[in-house]
Copies of this chain bind each other. A is one copy, B any other.
């Protein structure tokens, strides 16, 4: 035994060629992945020693002191569950209680679809996980389909449907000239897409533009979808966070449901309940009847099983604790409104500051856009100037996270934006 080991060690050195793959590497050909466009912003921000630095790249809510927030309702829920829950596996489809409450938020408390058990739903790893489960499901059961994605959209949408191997197309959404919705072209794209196409829609507070269709426009979009027989998939990552009122933010979805669409929907508690890192969300798919919903749910679970087996329990417990207790739920609604109001206040403040500085440009879009982000219209070069000269960090597409704006920095921010834009048109 000893001598064989010694021989082995001799054989197995790097210099040996004895029928061996040398220790040169399995993964020598693996290139470093490109830096994440959003993470890189925060990295650079953290590395900047300037006392004036401002981070408006962050896609997470901050209070008026620029600090991360854990909602009171969440802290209370944590207190209630700490120490008295076991940590057993959830079912593959996740926490039933959490999902019931979550579906009520999207579909309405008295939704017939809920009563008739027509909604196939599974707990998912926040909005990302919900979108991915749907994309994989779409690939598996509609293998010839494509997904139409708005321009622009959250960068990870492209990654998700790409890794699910669903071909992507785009449709017009944002109009750079107006910094609003390119409604006419959007409707053209809907009409020109082959019947029965799959469309990805942001239910509210479009990311990154903050531009949402009006209610009237949503009705027209829904109608056109019906005419064309398209499949509407809603990504709702900001319910409650957009207007301050979750019911109001679900309006687009309710319009489509009223029109009889069988939608798919990704929901997330990352922002509206501040549960970012807990990874809590839900994927739902409307079906013809309960039997079909059972079948679809079972297939969604089959996709989840070889990905993570069953979803994480902690965040789900927090959500169901809050939403099933009327007092905690009311507290949550107040806190969501508070966050939304602070953002709206900062939109007003930055616009007013820019107007007071006699900016030659229109900044109306700042207060028209909705949700966490403002698509400022700044060019990449202007963004670079903001970073290099003023230590202000945002993504190079000019997207400002209003959540990072505070009464303390709004004046400085407006000043800097004015400086880099005052010389001419954008």
Contact = CB atoms under 8 A, between A and B. Distances in A.
A382 interface: no
A207 interface: no
B36 A162 contact: no
Interface in A1-21: 1, 5, 8, 11-14, 18-21
Contacts of A69: 86
B128 A12 contact: no
Contacts of A361: none
A83 B28 CA distance: 44
A305 B294 CA distance: 29
A117 interface: no
Interface in A271-303: 274-279, 285, 287-288, 292, 294-296, 298-299, 301-303
Contact of A278 (B226, B229, B276, B314): B314
Interface stretch (A74-82, A106-114, A367-375, A415-423): A74-82
Given A83-B78, A87-B74, A306-B160, A25 B262 contact: yes
Contact of A310 (B8, B86, B279, B288): B279
Nearest to A198: B26
Contacts of A274: 87
Interface string A186-197: 000000000110
Given A82-B79, A91-B39, A274-B87, A307 B305 contact: no
Interface in A179-218: 195-196, 216
Contacts of A47: none
Nearest to A25: B288
Contacts of A196: 21
Nearest to A35: B298
A311 B279 contact: yes
Given A28-B292, A88-B277, A298-B33, A132 B307 contact: yes
A141 B29 contact: yes
Nearest to A24: B288
B295 A279 contact: no
Nearest to A302: B33
A123 to B, nearest CB: 11
A279 B278 CA distance: 11
Interface string A19-46: 1110111111111110010010000000
Interface residues of A, number: 97
A129 interface: yes
B306 A162 contact: yes
Contact of A313 (B26, B277, B296): B277
Contacts of A341: none
Given A277-B312, A301-B33, A296 B27 contact: yes
Given A277-B313, A278-B312, 16 more contacts: A19-B229, A20-B229, A21-B196, A25-B262, A26-B262, A33-B301, A39-B92, A75-B83, A78-B82, A79-B83, A125-B307, A129-B307, A156-B305, A279-B311, A279-B313, A314-B315
Interface of A: 1, 5, 8, 11-14, 18-21, 23-33, 36, 39, 60, 68-70, 74-75, 78-79, 82-83, 86-92, 125-126, 128-129, 132, 141-142, 156, 159-160, 162-164, 195-196, 216, 219, 223, 226-229, 231, 259-260, 262, 270, 274-279, 285, 287-288, 292, 294-296, 298-299, 301-303, 305-315
Closest 10 CB pairs of A and B: A21-B229, A277-B313, A125-B308, A159-B306, A314-B314, A33-B298, A128-B309, A312-B312, A25-B288, A32-B295
